[in-house]
Amino acid sequence: MESTTLVWIMLLPLLGSAIIGVGRKGLSRNAAGWLGSLVVAVSFVLTLQAMGQLPATGVPLRQSLFVWGQSLPFELHVGLMADALTLWWLLVVTGVGFLIHVYSIGYMADDKGFARFFAELNYFIFSMALLVLADNFVGLLVGWANVGFASFLLIGFWTEKAEARAAANKALLINIAGESAMVVALALMVREFGSLAYAEIFSQASGATPGIVTAISLLLLVGIVTKSAQLPLHTWLPDAMQGPTPVSALIHAATMVTAGVYLVIRAFPLFSASPVAMQTVAVIGALSALFGAIVATRQFDIKRVLAYSTMSQLGYMLMGAGVGAYAASAFHFFTHAFFKALLFLGAGMISHHLSGEQDIRKMGGLGRQLPFVYWTFLAGVLAISGAPGFAGFFSKEEILAAALHEGHVGLWLIGVVTAGLTAYYMARLFILIFGGEASETESNHVHRGRGGVMGFPVAVLAVASTLSGLIAIPGITQVPGTYLAPVFARFGHEAVHVDSFGFPVILVLGMAAIGFIVGLKLFGPSGQGRARAQRSLQRRLGGPVANAFYLDDLYVWGAASIGRWAKVGALRVQSGFVRRYALTFFAGFAAFVFYFLLL
Amino acid sequence: MNPGLLEGYVALSAIIFAVGAVGLLIRRSPLVVLMCIELMWNAANLTFIAYARQWGNMEGHILSFIVITVAAAEVAIGLAIIVLIFRRRSEVDVDEAAMLRG
């Protein structure tokens, strides 16, 4: 069914970005902020409208745009396509995106780059919409590269900070490395399927050469691992926290980093045609979940704790997708977007209150000063820890139950341990910030009076983090599963799902409860951990866990060595003698002539 | 145009090109180097025009105009660079201009 709505969902944020970007000198701050929020709100409403238009049969909404690549051996009809999966993602991208735009009006109010911020944020929403709306791999890759560039712009938003510039470069470089692998995957698709359109590739996937499908899936996986910050290419995500906090909430927690999960689910006919690829996705996801959770237990920067926890939660999503529980994975994306955005926005309010302080060792006793943040943050902590009834409980349990149901006992065990660690580091984070005595850090009361514009999104997200899990109570409600089922049915698949969590849920809950209580005890007002943590303020933290197992240092060392070696070689070639360059050029030309004319 | 004439033009063009190329390699004055590049451009133009007349279509003519435009731009930038180098040091030798070496 044709639907022009899809074009507007995508174009409105682009239009907003252009107007705010071009007119940023003339627009008042309020105008820029509210215009940026408004276009995303309209996109959100249009997404709801598109959900209403989507036929129950599951035939996607379409909008063809143009023909691309007429000189190629095939024609690519570029267009937009929205099935249940696309709309599921768009709902969060525009919905949470809108809330974070509104929050930013308050958060960025004193920033001199206020209008630029909103132009870039709108541009991100456009890119992400393109990524999920594309009906072919070229459109996907263009959106993929554009969200990467938006992320680059926003990580390095405070261009005067050297760390921010370095982090932006790092994120861009790692993501481009992933994109190059994806380009190779696209080339293989053309070779094997003679097309780049989803519909044609997915319908042929099961009958294709197994080796090539595995190669395509694994190459796509390289891109997925970089975008979703999974082992071993996650190192850009903790650094990306140099960007403003709303950016961390929107791009580096709720939406962009989930693009990898989206791609695994979108390209499930390819992945499920290759058991090797599926296994790899699940194992990388599980290991990243564990790795992120372990490292998060020894971080002291509030945003870095949340960054590693994002990596860990994305690991859960990939693990779910890797065992075939696509709907559970998409569901965890949904709930995670709420509670992680909530935690980041809460963290932003805390560091605003403390004049930019982000070290949780210097915090404490904030519960009495910031009761609103206390209660909303608590909702987020309980949701991510998997407390029964909260959103994260249902989605996480569903993934774990599906893994066990499919017989992946090892993955399930890793998931259970991770659940325990998650509860532990979240309890530690929470009690260090809010428990105990107020620290000597000077609090900043300048920001009072923006409570409404920053508080409203946080309140909405807190409610969503508490209640959104109820849409998938096993055996009672199955909204994600039923809603997404047509996506898989079109290609003759069915997502793995479970009707009840069964008794293993007790084990997961037990682990989480132990982790939570240990975290609270250890870092509570009189706990040993708290005292030790505060003593460690004076020195750089040692040990492999606090330093994320030295992976980042290894990469820096490796890149520097290659760079030094390359410099020696390059200096020999790039001598600076123009005439030698000319001679080389002529020699090369002569070699070509010789090859083409004489051989 | 008779075939012999075409061969003559192409041969002339080859000679001009070779003169330019050799000059570029052995002379060290930047002005002469620029002139040698100009010779090579024009050798290429001559070939374009000769073949365009031979086949009786206009594409060669159009291309030679593009080449002239690009050559003009190249000379404008090249001369500007040379003038700037002259200001920094009294004599100019293309072998000495290696400041941007890594």
Query: Can you give A246-300 as a three-state secondary structure string?
Result: HHHHHHHHHCHHHHHHHHHHHCHHHHHCCHHHHHHHHHHHHHHHHHHHHHHCCCC
What does the alpha-carbon distance between residue A254 and residue A96 come to, in Å, rounded to a whole number?
Answer: 8
> Which chain A residue has the Cα nearest residue B96?
A577
Residues contacting A157, CB < 8 A, separation 6+: A113, A116, A117, A120, A164, A243, A244, A247
Position B4 scores a pLDDT of 80
Question: Which 3 state secondary structure label does DSSP give A527?
Answer: coil
- Under the banding of pLDDT at 50, 70 and 90, the label for residue A42 is very high
- pLDDT (average), residues A186-210: 88
| Mean model confidence pLDDT for chain A | 88
Instruction: Kindly report whether the peptide bond that precedes residue A388 is cis, defined as omega within 30 degrees of 0.
Output: no
Retrieve residue A77's tokens.
């009809």
Q: How far apart are CA A364 and CA A353, in angstroms?
A: 12
pLDDT, residue A92, reads 94
CA distance A285 to A320: 8
Residue-level pLDDT at A210: 86
- Where do the H-state alpha helices sit in A134-272? 137-155, 162-193, 198-204, 210-227, 236-239, 245-249, 259-266, 268-272
ipTM for the predicted complex: 0.82
A157/A117 Cα distance (integer angstroms): 8
- Which of B25, B100, B101 lies closest to A579 in CB terms? B25
Confidence of residue A293 (pLDDT cuts 50, 70, 90): very high
Q: How far away is chain A from the Cα of B93, in angstroms, using its nearest Cα?
A: 10
Measured between beta carbons, the chain A residues lying within 8 angstroms of B92 are: none
Q: Which residues of B touch A (CB under 8 A)?
A: 21, 24-25, 28, 33, 94-95, 97-102
3-state secondary structure of A186: helix
Closest-CA distance, B22 to chain A, in angstroms, reads 9
User: pLDDT tens digit string along A468-510?
Assistant: 888 888 878 888 888 888 888 888 787 787 777 777 888 888 8
Determine the average pLDDT of the residues in B85-96: 78
Nearest to A579 among B95, B100, B101 (CB): B95
CB proximity A571 to B under 8 Å: yes
Report the alpha-carbon angle A315-A283-A509, nearest 5: 55
A577, A583, A584: best to mutate for the B interface, most B CBs within 10 A? A577
For residue range A103-122, list pLDDT tens digits in order.
999 888 888 888 999 999 99
In A538-567, the residues whose Cβ lies within 8 Å of chain B are 567
Whether the predicted pLDDT of A136 surpasses 60 = yes
| A30 shares contact with chain B (CB less than 8 Å) | no
Structure tokens belonging to residue B42: 């024009």
- Where does the pLDDT of residue A441 fall: very low under 50, low under 70, confident under 90, or very high at 90 and above? low
Indicate the residue type of A90: L
- CB burial string A123-133: b at 16+ within 10 A, e below: bbbbbbbbbbb
Q: Cα(A470)–Cα(A394) distance, rounded to whole angstroms?
A: 8
* List of chain A residues whose C-beta atoms are within 8 Å of the C-beta of residue B33: 578
pLDDT at B102 over 80: no
Rounded CA separation A163/A218 (Å): 33
DSSP assignment string, A436-463: SS--SPPP--TTTT-HHHHHHHHHHHHH
Nearest-CB residue to B21 (from A571, A574, A586): A586
Q: What is the pLDDT of residues A383-438, one digit of tens each?
A: 999 888 888 888 998 899 889 888 888 999 999 999 999 999 999 999 888 887 76
CB contact under 8 A, B94 and A576: no
pLDDT per position as a tens digit, A552-569: 888 889 988 998 898 888
CA distance B65 to chain A (A): 24
**Which pLDDT score, from 0 to 100, does residue A289 have?**
94
> Does pLDDT of A443 surpass 60?
no
Residue-level pLDDT at A451 = 67
Of B24, B98, B102, the CB nearest to A577: B98
Scanning every residue of chain B, which has its alpha carbon at the shortest distance from the alpha carbon of A571? Answer: B102
Cβ-contact A277, A217 below 8 angstroms: yes
Q: How far is B29 from chain A (nearest CA, A)?
A: 11
Contact present, A209 and A192 (Cβ < 8 Å): yes
Confidence label for B91 from pLDDT (cuts 50, 70 and 90): confident
Nearest CA in chain B to A567: B102
Q: Touching check for A568 and chain B: CB below 8 Å?
A: no
Rounded to the nearest 5°, which phi and psi values hold at A61? -75, 145
Say which residue, A499 or B54, is predicted with more confidence: B54
- Residue A440's pLDDT is 57
Distance (Å, whole) CA A249 – CA A101? 11
CA dist., res. A398 & res. A273, Å (int): 23
Contact B95 A571 (CB under 8 A): no
Give the C-alpha separation, A246 to A89, whole Å.
19
C-alpha A327/C-alpha A333 separation (Å) is 10
Q: Contacts from A115-118 at CB under 8 Å and sequence distance 24+? A: A115/A20, A115/A21, A115/A23, A115/A24, A115/A27, A115/A29, A115/A32, A116/A21, A116/A24, A116/A157, A117/A154, A117/A157, A117/A244, A118/A16, A118/A20, A118/A32, A118/A33, A118/A35, A118/A36
Closest CB to A578 among B21, B94, B102: B94
The answer to whether A105 and A33 are in contact (CB under 8 A) is yes
Across the interface, do A571 and B102 touch by the CB < 8 Å criterion?
yes
Hey, is A306 helix, strand or coil? Answer: helix
Residue A247's nearest CA partner among A163, A174, A151 is A151
Q: What is the pTM of this model?
A: 0.83
pLDDT at res. A579:
84
Confidence at B101, pLDDT banded by 50, 70, 90: low
CB contact under 8 A, B33 and A578: yes
